[in-house]
Structure 1
């Protein structure tokens, strides 16, 4: 196991372009699971023997029909020895096969480094945003326009993931001119689940109308029409994926207000914008090179610190060229290199093999994949567990940390006096600082 563990970091990165390596890692995971099961069986048997030693054999009273022979120590030892032998043989075979992939031994960075970042919903300070002045003004001009005879106009912000669509919508939503021009402002995060009933209830709740869990669709639509009637409203539907025009029409028919009411939709898909409604489409482009570097420096260094490392800044400029102006990619790599002052660390990011992979439209950003690969193994496991949560769900830190604890995912040395809850909080802050949340 120790022989294999030394090359796991290299294997996980290289599997992206090597199908055989992916299969090998899957087989390795299966064997490790078998080993964990064996350890569990030993632990259960040890506990059983402790109970028998303390209280005597209670199998007749507790286990009923289970035969005492199933607890024969010799039978247990014989069964487990065969399991251990099988696991050892599988591990030896896997250890031999690793030579086929020319894997390098690497040591894992055990340090957790994070900085505090604000979590936002419909609000983000202007001072935290770089390079959106023109985009913001264009959207506000469209929203302030009185529109045509339709009582509700729709405007779209379209761009790939990580381009800053939500951030731009947040800036517009909180602009003083928008606040003064509309009677009601409503923010709804849509994501994949475009349910007319669910969205209508969310809009009703945000608009200040009465909402309860047992409301029918008839009650919701009556309340929503009554609440919005006579108001000039501004609704943001953030992160829309639905391409079904009929569902959109069903929702729009419920949104009737004063002339000049506006709906702002953010989406990754031009097709979503075309299917939903006619209206102006604002396509987001990448940040200019100057703004990219400014954002990168803000994330990679403490204030003013970059002046001490001109060579790192030069390497950073080359890294930024690979981000293609995507703010999320810039922030992610900046956070990844935060606190690292060795040139080799920066060069390894710049020259990583991931940049050579073909980037398809719906693929994860290479910068995010690279940042994930650089996570410590225990943080990867915690993030994998977190991915079981539905998209956009709100969670409490301690609930998630306790789930990590229950599954044995928090790493603590025997000599450490730090509480597991505090370690879990450190893990959360690290993942947050790297833009995984």
Structure 2
């Protein structure tokens, strides 16, 4: 995990480096002797490399040693370029301070007359640094081609993330344990079993379920969605995955198809919303929006327009990782915490052994407890590791998994890490 998160940080670091390379002050200082042209060339080449980072990260996660070395070389180069730019800036400031101390006039010039990049570049040590960095950059570009790393623009990257996301359905989990209390609490919010809970004027009512990636928000929503008490309470139900690319037309179309059973409605948002309005008019509905990321209030309110046609008691349940999504929805969040260890142990036994407990596999229980501790209450991690150990009853295998990091297991890494990576992608720059 550390390596993969490191590469995500590399992408963010390169963005900071681009700002420095395109700094107007720095470029004005470097405008002579070809240094400005060199910096602009580096910036252009690094931007193209940055477009290949997404593909490089994916290949590294599958164990491609060549890509891993390439990423290490790129990271070291980026640090050295930053150091060089710092030296440029430090030398320029030093020369400027000397010039200011001698100047009789208080007028400050952007580029002091006593400083010339020519003087700076004549320094043998500095010239060697520049030549070394340029040579290494060209070698990294060559290696990028030899490793067949694909370049993607921002739109393609967003599209790839959507294609790779785990599509979710409303079919409940085969083993749902340790969430009985949470299920009842959400049910009370949903169908208004508590006195006065439906005394609200807003239609529809919002119930945001908030929690970290892999903690079981979708599983809880599924369980509630399929509860018999819910089936008899609402006139219509629909389930749609929103994900990080909040495509209003696609989500609206999916909901409409759930309700009407018809497909092929086209992609025109106005027509889709008009049809959805008619389908929901005066009906009490339940809509689940799974994995919501958008925090754009204007986009959100536009999306909600058709749902205002519903009857009193209509509800939208949304699952999300960010509390700000609940704030945007204008509703108090239901926070889902980590799954207790005893429930995680039951979940592990089910997915690894097809059993409810370790009664018939007592030699494996102690290893199972250690594995569960490593999963930190995340059902997704437990489920993936249970799948790795499926039908294996060799204590040595269980012991090996219990002593290793879960991120060292390729199958678990491919399922869990993209979930965490998506959470990282949506952090503000200072938190990244």
- Under a length normalisation based on structure 1, what TM-score does the superposition of the two structures give? 0.53
Counterparts of 1:273 and 1:291, CA distance in 2: 28
- CA change 1:346–1:195 in 2 (3 A) is same
| Structure 2 gaps, min length 5 | 8-59, 71-166, 193-197, 423-432
Partner SS, residue 307 of structure 2:
coil
Counterparts of 2:361 and 2:326, CA distance in 1: 45
Equivalent residue runs for 1:22-421 within 5 Å: 25-26=65-66, 121-124=169-172, 128-145=175-192, 146-208=198-260, 212-214=264-266, 216-256=268-308, 257-275=310-328, 277-303=329-355, 306-352=358-404, 354=405, 367=406, 369-372=407-410
- CA change 1:211–1:222 in 2 (3 A) is farther
Shift of 1:134: 0.9
Number of the residue aligned with 1:410? none
Equivalent pair of 1:230/1:258 in contact (CA under 8 Å): yes
Counterparts of 1:312 and 1:306, CA distance in 2: 7
Counterparts of 2:320 and 2:332, CA distance in 1: 13
Shift of 1:343: 3.2
Counterparts of 1:211 and 1:24, CA distance in 2: 42
Counterparts of 1:18 and 1:238, CA distance in 2: 29
Shift of 1:204: 2.0
Equivalent pair of 2:385/2:412 in contact (CA under 8 Å): no
Shift of 1:245: 1.3
Shift of 1:305: 8.7
Equivalent pair of 2:217/2:319 in contact (CA under 8 Å): yes
Counterparts of 2:227 and 2:303, CA distance in 1: 26
Partner SS, residue 207 of structure 1:
helix
Equivalent pair of 1:332/1:371 in contact (CA under 8 Å): no
Shift of 1:324: 1.4
Structure 1 segments, 4+ long, off by >4 Å, are 13-19, 27-30
Q: Output the aligned Cα RMSD.
A: 3.3
Partner SS, residue 139 of structure 1:
helix
Partner SS, residue 128 of structure 1:
coil
Partner SS, residue 274 of structure 1:
helix
Task: Give CA deviations for 1:301-337 in whole Å, capped at 9, x if unaligned.
Answer: 2438944542321121122112111111111222222
- CA change 1:217–1:289 in 2 (3 A) is closer
Equivalent pair of 1:312/1:343 in contact (CA under 8 Å): yes
Shift of 1:130: 0.8
- Under a length normalisation based on structure 2, what TM-score does the superposition of the two structures give? 0.54
